[in-house]
């Protein structure tokens, strides 16, 4: 069961505060973007990669792809103002795709086993997203006052990849664009049309590199994985 992957990589990294696209920052001396790309480059079921990029970063990214031997990238469309627009820009140029995965390029630690389950579920059910059970108590706060504690047993922290039948996601993105709906993940656009979306349990290591602390966590995750590999 093959698939193609959309990697939105056109963000500004404001919360990281690095003064540049955080995807270019190194983890174990390799750009975050390359760590993520290598996951899909190595997966034989991945038949194509689309990267949404900032026009001014396209040449730099193309040089990185050449330097690290990334061969599956089929398109580098211009990203948009919001993450959703960047994803949509990729979907608009994709052809003959049955299953599409959308994955934050800022999540380099996704496990192959999770990708496999997402693809299988998307083929069977149409839509499946990665997540982990919430570990913290979550409360709604208004003007500094707790207004509601959300029942934790049913809460999941949602990640990417998010996998869909291609036509379903493209339709949901087209409708959202038409009505001006902006979501923080692809699933929201599909949920609002009434489709069922399945959850695939991922790992707590699948963090999104967002703030400086995540660079420390990321180095620790890599060291831990290298240690496990050396003990095999």
Ligand X SMILES: C[C@](O)(CO)[C@H](O)COP(=O)(O)O
159 binds ligand X (CB under 6 A): yes
Q: For ligand X, how many residues bind (rule: CB under 6 A)?
A: 8
Stretch that binds ligand X, among 72-80, 111-119, 158-166, 215-223 (CB under 6 A): 158-166
161 binds ligand CTP (CB under 6 A): no
Q: Which of 183, 204, 208, 191 is nearest to 134 (CA)?
A: 204
- Smallest distance from the beta carbon of 175 to ligand X, in angstroms? 19
| Among residues 6, 37, 105, 115, the one that binds ligand CTP under rule CB under 6 A | 105
- Smallest distance from the beta carbon of 131 to ligand X, in angstroms? 8
Site for ligand X in 128-157 (CB under 6 A): none
149 binds ligand CTP (CB under 6 A): no
Q: Which residues have C-beta within 8 Å of that of residue 21, sequence separation ≥ 6?
A: 9, 11, 12, 13, 54, 57
Stretch that binds ligand CTP, among 9-17, 70-78, 172-180, 193-201 (CB under 6 A): 9-17
Beta 138-142 vs 156-165: how paired, if at all? unpaired
Q: Before 159, cis peptide (omega within 30)?
A: no
208 binds ligand X (CB under 6 A): yes
Alpha-carbon distance of 64 to 197, in angstroms, equals 35
Helix (H, G, I), strand (E, B) or coil at 189: helix
For the chain, give me the number of helices (H) and strands (E)? Answer: 7, 11
Beta 73-75 vs 46-52: how paired, if at all? parallel
| Among residues 22, 83, 117, 165, the one that binds ligand X under rule CB under 6 A | 83
Where are the alpha helices (H) located in 101-211, listed in sequence order? 112-125, 166-179, 186-191
12 binds ligand X (CB under 6 A): no
197 binds, among ligand CTP, ligand X, none (CB under 5 to 8 A by kind): none
Q: Dihedrals φ, ψ of 125, to 5°?
A: -115, -15
For ligand CTP, the binding residues (CB under 6 A) are 8-16, 22-23, 52, 79-83, 86, 104-106, 208, 210
For ligand X, the binding residues (CB under 6 A) are 83, 104, 158-160, 184-185, 208
């Amino acid at each position: 069961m093959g698939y193609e992957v959309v990697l939105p990589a056109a963000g500004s990294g404001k919360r990281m505060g690095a003064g540049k696209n955080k995807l270019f920052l190194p983890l174990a001396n390799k750009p975050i973007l390359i760590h993520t790309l290598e996951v899909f480059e190595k997966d034989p079921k991945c038949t194509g990669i689309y990267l949404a990029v900032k026009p001014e970063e396209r040449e730099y990214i193309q040089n990185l792809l050449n330097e690290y031997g990334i061969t599956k990238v089929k398109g580098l469309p211009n990203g948009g103002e919001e993450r959703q627009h960047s994803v949509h820009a990729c979907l608009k140029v994709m052809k003959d795709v049955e299953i599409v995965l959308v994955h934050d390029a800022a999540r380099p630690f996704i496990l192959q086993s999770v990708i496999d389950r997402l693809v299988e579920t998307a083929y069977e059910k149409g839509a499946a997203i990665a997540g982990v059970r919430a570990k913290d108590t979550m409360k709604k706060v208004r003007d500094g006052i707790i207004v509601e504690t959300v029942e934790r047993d049913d809460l999941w922290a949602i990640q990417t990849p998010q996998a869909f039948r291609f036509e379903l996601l493209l339709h949901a993105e087209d409708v959202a664009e038409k009505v001006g709906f902006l979501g923080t993940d692809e699933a929201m656009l599909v949920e609002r049309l009434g489709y069922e979306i399945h959850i695939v349990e991922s790992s707590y290591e699948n963090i999104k590199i967002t703030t400086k602390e995540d660079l420390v966590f990321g180095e620790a995750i890599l060291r831990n994985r290298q240690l496990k590999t050396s003990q095999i």
